[in-house]
Chains A and B, each alone.
Chain A
Amino acid sequence: MHADLILPLTIVGIVTGSMYALGAMGIVVIYKTTRVLNFAHGAIGMISAFLAYQLGYLWSMNVGIAALSAIAFSALLGFSIERFTIRPLEGKAPLIKVVVTLGWLLIITSFAGIKWGASAYHVPIKLVPEGTVGLPGVHISYADLATLAVAGVLTAALATFFRLTRLGVAMRAVADDVSSARILGIRVDRVNSTAWILGSVLAAITGILLSPKVALDTYSLTLLVIFSFAAALYGGLVSLPKAFAAAMVLGVVQSVSSGFLHLAGLADLIALAVIIFALVQPGSALMRAVAKEGA
């Protein structure tokens, strides 16, 4: 590989990493508060992007209104999932709740497949105008820059939210000890609902922003979340800054290594390696989280 490719490939990797980071935010928010690993996260983003497509493209609605409507829908969906399928399982093993999210994954993808067809023949709405910015050795689209900016701003905003706001502190308290939180007067159900709404809204933002770049079908957006899971796992599923950093590193390693090794499945292999590393590394954030869960 030419040495002068390292910098442009790094920039491309950062852009890719920002996509993963966006996906990781919602996963972390929900797990951090409710201790439920939401496998339906990508599917929620996917169906929100499809709804935006239905409103903005098929029904020719203003794209901004279409996007906001889709985000509102995702909030309602997140609330419904928590209120009607997760909350009744309070006190049950976390694994059961995870299985419920897998069920939602199947329901949502099946519904989207029936309604819009499980194909790539959809024109996603574009919130960001077309155009590029020249950086050393590479041009980046406005949409990529927007994704990077949104991912960075959301990470900082959410980290601040959890640290400084009353609701954020309440969410952390619920995550730490539900019983104690109740004794302190925190309305745990409401906090859990809020986490699901927030996580689902983040999924919708991710889906709508990324659908012009990733194919708008029932498959691509849903599976893109695998890379986000890898990043979120590295942050123990609870640390937003660590998940953000891991997403960036994952994107850059995938991009730069592709310049050395011409292996079609290389990106997937690297993500798998990150997941294994996050899982088995002694003293990792995830291991601590698991130990805490079992304590």
Chain B
Amino acid sequence: MNAPNGQDRLFGRLLALAFALTLAFGVLIAHYYDRLGSSPAQVATGTGTSGGDGTSGNQQSPGDGAGGTAAATPGQNPTSVATSTTTKTGGTTTGKVPTGTTRGVSKGSIKVGGIFSITGPFDASPARDSTRAYFQLINSEGGVNGRTLEYISYDDAFDPTQGQNAARKLIEQDKVFAIVGWLAPNSEPAASQYFAKVGLPVVGGLAVPQEFGPRNFFATMANLGKAGAAVARFPCDAKVKKPAVGIVDLPFADQMMAAVRKGLAQCGVTDPILTKIASTSADYTQYILEWRSKGADSIGAALDPMGFVKLMQALDRQSWHPPTWLVGSADSERNAMVKNALEGAFSVESQLVATLHTDLPGPRRYVETMHKYYPGTTIASTAQISWTAAQVFVEGLRRAGPDPTWQKVIEAIETLRDFKTDLTAPLTYTATDHDAIKCIELLQWKNGAWTDYYPDFQCWEYTSDGGTVVRPSRPFT
């Protein structure tokens, strides 16, 4: 073997230096985006020069707020009428709504935007198609107050940087009136802060913690930071002692883990096994082996769509079938890939799984519309939240009247009381509570298909101490 010569050593050192610089640059970028995600004021880097009151006709850059005033920081009063605050007080929503911005609204149409993870490990194309299908349905019926809905969407490729770029493009270039039905797990935390600063109506999303609090956000999925506590009720009912809970390693994983821990503590389970799971891992066997060695008696999981498949495959390989609780896993195609392994497993859904209830008019309308406009699209429970988001937005738009503004639409949605959607329990939004999804459907996989474990929705209420109380049932529709 030849000893390395000077050229080799120099080459090696240069490579090492390049790697060190790359790592340092990566850390700086990560730090920068972390700041974007934690401070709305930091998001305001736009250089637009218009603005002021944010009224119709002004193509206000999100960066300038109102006359260049920065958004309020958490805990402070808003300093600008063109922005929403991000003050969070428990589950309530606070802050002023923006004034009459109408950008994206023309005589015949309204531009609406969305960001979806299409390429990459998470496929949100069914959610995008669900939003589009609802808008196409509405357009075919004449639109809303004489205007059709024009939907513009971008793929973030499961990348927060691309998500940020898409968010800015929708606001600064496309000048959309609202964000509706979006589903981009890795981008939503930071992009939400940006949209909160801009102040336009945002309906739907994955209900990450950042989407609760700003006045312009309306969730159509159970609050991930809190639903864990409600979801934990069902394992508690099953008298589990040592559950192992795997949560996909996304920006909201910590909040969800805290909620699950809190919920389990309510029934005396104080030492659960909580694990963050890497969606990029090819094999989940190592998690299964670890959980089993630690004496887990049941499994809970909130994972990306393919993660459910890998988890069930790994459980099946080890011939280990403890009681298993999944969150939002109903998906016809992927469920079919592990249909034997799923036997007996439970799934908690914040929407009525449409394919199971085509006897009801709402789910039937969803399924038929999807088949009409997007026949190849998978009907998945995660996509349904986007349909509901589109439905809530259209109702708000309708109530806002012939001259919609951000303010009018936001305030109109806040007037919804027991609003009947196609796929959820009736929804109520108020000026202080935009956390409308408080009911879940519990399914069990039996003989190769999901079946209703309870005949009705299971709904909960948040208690003053941040806990939850689950009421036994509420009729579907």
Contact = CB atoms under 8 A, between A and B. Distances in A.
Partners in one complex: yes
Interface of A: 1-2, 4-5, 8-9, 12, 15-16, 19, 113, 117-121, 123, 132, 137-141, 210, 213-215, 217-220, 223-224, 255, 258-259, 262, 264-268, 276, 279-283, 287-288, 290-291, 294
B395 to A, nearest CB: 30
Nearest to A294: B7
Interface stretch (B62-70, B114-122, B411-419): B114-122
B461 interface: no
Interface in B105-158: 118-123, 125
A259 B337 CA distance: 28
B319 A276 contact: no
A264 B275 CA distance: 9
A276 B15 CA distance: 8
B45 interface: no
Contacts of A255: 286
B317 A5 contact: no
B88 interface: no
A220 B305 CA distance: 14
B306 to A, nearest CB: 4
B306 A215 contact: yes
A168 B8 CA distance: 29
Given A5-B293, A12-B289, A264 B317 contact: no
Nearest to A20: B282
B274 to A, nearest CB: 9
Q: Which 7 A-B pairs have the closest CB atoms?
A: A119-B123, A264-B249, A118-B119, A264-B278, A280-B12, A282-B4, A215-B306
B277 interface: yes
B148 to A, nearest CB: 27
Contact of B278 (A210, A223, A267): A267
Given A138-B318, A219-B121, A288-B2, 11 more contacts: A1-B293, A9-B289, A119-B119, A138-B285, A139-B319, A219-B119, A220-B280, A264-B278, A280-B12, A283-B8, A290-B8
14 contacts: A5-B290, A12-B289, A16-B283, A19-B282, A120-B306, A262-B275, A267-B278, A279-B12, A280-B13, A280-B15, A282-B12, A288-B1, A290-B8, A291-B2
B276 interface: yes
A128 to B, nearest CB: 13
B453 interface: no
A210 B283 CA distance: 11
A75 to B, nearest CB: 26
Contact of B3 (A9, A218, A265, A283): A283
Contacts of A16: 282-283
A49 B177 CA distance: 42
Nearest to B289: A8
Interface in B307-333: 309, 313, 317-319, 333
A283 B275 contact: no
Contact of A120 (B11, B123, B278): B123
Nearest to A123: B337
A283 B123 contact: no
Interface in B329-376: 333-334, 336-337
B378 interface: yes
Interface in B235-285: 249, 275-278, 280-283, 285
Contacts of A137: 289
Contacts of A15: 283
Interface in B1-41: 1-5, 7-9, 11-13, 15-16, 19
A276 B290 CA distance: 30
Nearest to B14: A280
A220 B121 contact: yes
